[in-house]
Structure 1
Amino acid sequence: MDATELEWHRGELTGYCYRMLGSGFEAEDAVQETFVRAWRTYDASRGPLRSWLFHLATNICLDMLRGPQRRARAMDLGPAAVPGAELGAPLPPERWIHPIPDSRVSPEDLAVARETVRLAFVAALQHLPPRQRAVLILRDVLRWSAAETAVLLSTTVTSVNSTLQRARAKLPAVEPADLEVDEELLSRYVSAFERYDVSALVSLLHEDATMSMPPFTWWLRGRESIRAVLLASDAPCAGARLLPTRANGSPALGQYMDGRAFALVVLDVAGGLITGVTTYLDPGLFPFFDLPMSFAHALRTEG
C-alpha cells in the first residue's frame, strides 16, 4: 500500500463520511484519520483495501457521532418565521448541516447518486441513529451487498437487513431536485441578485420556496413571504457580487459585500424554479470552496 492507493479512495470516502457527519470539514478530518489508521493497521490478509478503509471510516464516524445533538437545517429546528420577525440568537457551528464542494466528492459518486449529497437528504439522514445511518448509506447509496455490509460492521446479514428496514421507514421524505444545472436560470438569478431587483428575483422562486441563513434558526417559506422580507429590508445586499461554484450537487454562489467574502449561497432547483436558498453567513467556507476572499482578487485572477 502506498499514498497513491489511499488517495484513489479519498473522494468516495469523503462522500461517505460527509453523509454520516453532515460537515465537510469533519468528513475530511475523518478521512485523514482513516488514512493514518490504515497505514498502521492494514495488511493484505484483512481483505481488499477499500473494505478496510470503509471499516475504519465507519468506526471513526460512529465515534464522532456520540454527542447528544444532531446537525440540522433551520427548517428542521422550528416553524417558519413570519415576515418582520427577529433573526434570534445564532447557534454554534456544530448544530448545522454544512455544505461540501462537489470537487471534494468523487465524480462517480455524484453521477450515480447526486441527490444523496444534497443538503435536504444529508439533513434527513441525521434523523437516523448513527448505525442505521451507516447501513442505509452503505446499502442504498453506495450499493454494498448485505453480506459486505455485515462483514464491515461485524454483524450478521439478518441484522443488516433488519436495520436497513427500520432506517428506510424512519428516513424523512425528501423532495426531488433537478439533476442538471439550468445555466440560464442561474444567470438570471445572479443578475437579479446583483441588481437587487426583487421582482425579478422572486419570479425565479417556486411558490413554496424556502430561505434560510445559518447560523440563525430564522427561516421563511413561500414566495410571498420572501418578497415581503426583501422589500422591507432596505436592500442590505444591494451592490453584492456573486461568483459561481458547486456545493452538494447543486449550484452555489460566493457572495461578496464591499468586495469582501461574505456568504456562501446554496440553491435548490426543481422544475426549473428555485425551491430553496440557503445562505451560510460564514466567509470561512470560501477557502474550502477555492473561492478568493476578495472579489477584486477574483477579477485579477481572471483578467
Structure 2
Amino acid sequence: MPAPAARPDLSTGYLARAQAGDTAAFDRLVAPHRRALHTHCYRLLGSPFDADDALQETLLAAWRGLAGFEARSALGTWLYRIATHVCLRLIAQRPQRLTSADHAPPLQFTAELGEPVAGPVWLEPLPDAEWAAASPEDPAAALQRREHVALAFVAALQHLPGTQRAVLLLREVLEYSAAEAAELLGTSVASVNSALQRAQATVRQRMPAAQLLQTPPPAAPGLEDLLARFVVAWERRDIAAMAGLLAEDARFTMPPLPSWFSGRPMVLAFFAERVFQTPWRLQPLHGNGQPGFACFLQQAGDDRFRPGGVVLLRLRGGCIESIDSFIDPTVCRRFGMPEELE
C-alpha cells in the first residue's frame, strides 16, 4: 500500500473552508482517508472497537489543529502522524490484545470450557466491509492488502512494543521511507532502522511468511467447494465429513472463552461432544481477508436460531488449519448478524 500522494484534496477549496471553521468542509476533506486511518489504527491496536476510539480522537485532534496545517506534506501523511501517536498513547494505557494460544495452553478435555475472560483482552476480527477497497483493484495489490490485515499478521503485531509496531506498519505497509517514518514519529532514521529490524525478527518468529499465503483469494479454484462442504458438515453435524476437511494440526479457538483445542482429534472431539449437541445454521461472511461464517444456534425449547459466533477460517493446502470463533455478542453485531433467524 503506497504512502499517500502529495497534497491530495487541497485544490478543491475544502482546506481553506475547513480552516475557517466549516465542519462540513472538514468532513469532506478527511472522508477519503477515514477507512485507511481506521485500518491503520486496527492493525496497531488489534480491535476494531479500539480503532473506533482512536479514529475519533484522531479526527478531533486534526480538527483542532487544522489551522496550523500548512500543506507542506500530504494531508494523509499529517493524519497518519496524528493517528499513530494517538494509538501509541492508547497502547501504553491498555492491555495487550491476546489470542487464545497467548492466554493458556490447549485443553485436553471438553467437559469444562472455563468462564469468559472479560475486558479489552482479546484480539478481535475486522469485517472486510470496513477495510476492503470499494472498487476492483490490481490482484497483486489486493493480495498484499489481505496479507496486511490477516488475523495472524495483526496478532503478531500485538507482541511488538508500540514504537516497533508503528515503524513496521509505516515502513512495510504504508511504504514510507525511513526518513519519512522518522519524521512522523519524531525520532531518528537510525532508530527507525533499528526498530524495524527488531520488529521484523519478532514477526518472523511469531508468524512464518508462509502463513500469510495460506488463505486463497475469494475466487481461488476449489475454495467455494471446500466452504460449502464445511457448511454441510457443520449443519448436518457430520463428524466424518468434518474430519475430512481439517488439517492434522487444526485448531479451534473461541474467545472470550479461554479454552481452545489443538490437533484434529481434539477439535473433532469438541465438535462431537459440545458443538454438535445443538442445531446450527451458517451464513457466509468475510473478515480480515479470510472466509468465514455467521453461526446461529438453536437452544432447546427455542424455535429460532440465535447468534452463536463469528467464525473465520485459515486454510492450508486445501484443508482447514484454524477455526477462530469469536462468541462475543458485540463482535456478532459488528458483523451485522441479526438477532434471530426463523
TM above 0.5, yes or no, is: yes
2:215 counterpart SS class: coil
Q: In structure 2, how many angstroms separate the alpha carbons of the residues matched to 1:210 and 1:166?
A: 29
Q: Deviations over 1:180-236 (max 9, x none)?
A: 131111111111111111111121111101101111221111111112222233833
Residues 110, 249 of structure 1: 8 Å contact kept? no
Aligned pair partner of 1:20 in 16, 39, 44 = 44
User: 8 Å contact 1:178–1:272 — kept in the other structure?
Assistant: no
Equivalent of 2:340, from 283, 294, 297?
Answer: 294
Aligned length: 295
CA distance in 1, matches of 2:107, 2:168: 33
Matched, 1:8 2:32: yes
**Match in the other structure for 2:327:** 281
Identity across aligned pairs (percent)? 40
Larger Rg: 1 or 2? 2
Q: Per the alignment, do residues 219 and 163 of structure 1 end up closer, same or farther by CA in structure 2, a change over 3 Å counting?
A: same
Displacement of 1:295 after TM fit?
2.0
Match of 1:91 among 94, 117, 122: 117
1:299 aligned partner: none
Q: C-alpha separation between the residues in 1 aligned to 2:74 and 2:215?
A: 36
Q: Which runs of 5+ in 2 are unaligned?
A: 1-14, 16-25, 299-304
TM-score by structure 2 length?
0.81
The one of 49, 52, 56 equivalent to 2:82 is 56
Q: Which residue of 1 aligns with 2:291?
A: 251
Q: 1:56 to 1:240 in 2, by over 3 A?
A: same
Quick one: distance in 1 between partners of 2:27 and 2:39?
19
Q: 1:169 to 1:254 in 2, by over 3 A?
A: same
Kindly report which structure 2 residues correspond to 1:173-192, keeping only aligned pairs within 5 A, or say none.
Answer: 173-174=207-208, 175-176=211-212, 177-181=214-218, 182-192=223-233
* Residue 119 of structure 1 pairs with residue 151 of structure 2: yes
Aligned residue among 180, 196, 201 for 1:148:
180
Letter in 2 for 1:161: N
> What SS is found at the alignment partner of 1:135?
helix
AA at the equivalent of 2:334:
F
Amino acid at match of 1:223: R
Find 1:79's aligned residue among 105, 118, 132. 105
Give the secondary-structure state (helix, strand or coil) at the position aligned to 1:93: coil
**Partner AA of 1:86 in structure 2:** E
Deviations 1:259-303 (A, max 9, x none): 22221111111221111011111222233222322223xxxxxxx
| Deviation larger for 262-271 or 19-28 | 262-271
What SS does the corresponding residue of 2:293 show, helix, strand or coil? strand
Q: Do the aligned partners of 1:15 and 1:106 also contact (CA within 8 Å) in 2?
A: no
Note the residue ranges of structure 1 that are not aligned, 5 or more in a row: 297-303
Deviation per CA, 1:27-51: give whole Å up to 9, x if none: 1221122112111112234522101
CA RMSD of aligned residues (A): 1.8
Q: Does 1:34 align with 2:34?
A: no
Q: Judging changes above 3 Å, is the alpha-carbon distance between structure 1 residues 78 and 287 closer, same or farther for their aligned structure 2 residues?
A: closer
Tell me how far apart the structure 2 counterparts of residues 290 and 233 of structure 1 sit (CA, whole Å).
Answer: 26
Partner of 2:7: none
**Structure 2 partner of 1:132:** 164
Corresponding residue of 1:230: 271
Q: How many angstroms apart in 2 are the aligned matches of 1:287 and 1:201?
A: 27
Q: Quick one: structure 1 residues 228 and 45, their matched pair in 2 at CA, closer, same or farther if it must change by over 3 Å?
A: closer
Alpha-carbon shift at residue 85 of structure 1 (Å): 5.4
